[in-house]
Amino acid sequence: MNHTMTLTIQRVEGALIRALGLIERRGFAVTSIDASADEAAQQMELTIEVCSPGRSVDVLARQIEKLFDVRSVAHVRTSEPAVQLEESMAC
């Protein structure tokens, strides 16, 4: 399954890598990513599509939420994978 989630992270050193690294380490593959910065709020908004290895995306969301640089996480939608599972790297 593909899941789309939005993250708001603080723009501090390491925050982006920390969030993306956690997603991959927990077994999910990032299939697309869109980022925009909010200069005034010193925040970054990420829209990330992940491909699940059959693990709970809710648990992943809670794992991301625990990161200290992450302000919010929302699971937006679930969809059939656009890429066939065999073709994608990590799933």
Partner 1 sequence: MKGAQLLVKALEQEGVGVVFGYPGGAIMPVYDALLDSPIRHVLARHEQGAVLAADGFARVTGRPGVCMATSGPGATNLVTGIANAFMDSVPLVAITGQVPTPVMGTDAFQEVDIFGITMPIVKHSFLIRRAEDIPRIIGEAFHIATEGRPGPVLVDLPKDVANTMTSIPPIFEMKSSDPGRPDPEQLALACRLLGEAERPVLYAGGGVGMARAVDAFREFAEASCIPVVTTLKGIGAVPTRHKDYLGMLGMHGNLAANKAVQASDLLICVGARFDDRATGRLDGFAPGAKVIHMDADPSEISKLRFADAGLLGDLRVSLSSLPTDLSIEPWRAWCAERKAEHAWRYDAPGEGVFVPDMLRRITEADPEVTIACDVGQHQMWVAQHCHFQRPEQHLTSAGLGTMGFGIPAGIGALMAKPDGRVLTVTGDGSIMMNLQELQTIRRYDLPLKMLLVDNASLGMVRQWQELFHEERYSEVDLSDNPDFVEVARSFGIKAFRVTRRDRVDAAIERLLAAEGAILAHVCIDPKTNVWPLVPPGETNDVMLEGMSA
Identify the residue among 35, 37, 42, 62 touching partner 1 (CB under 8 A).
62
53 binds partner 1 (CB under 8 A): no
58 binds partner 1 (CB under 8 A): yes
56 binds partner 1 (CB under 8 A): yes
**What is the DSSP code string of the chain?**
-EEEEEEEEE-STTHHHHHHHHHHHTT-EEEEEEEEEETTTTEEEEEEEEE-SSS-HHHHHHHHHTSTTEEEEEEEEEE--SS-TTTSS--
Within residues 2-41, the interface with partner 1 by CB under 8 A covers 13-14, 17-18, 21-22, 25
Binding site for partner 1 (CB under 8 A): 13-14, 17-18, 21-22, 25, 56, 58-59, 62-63, 65-68
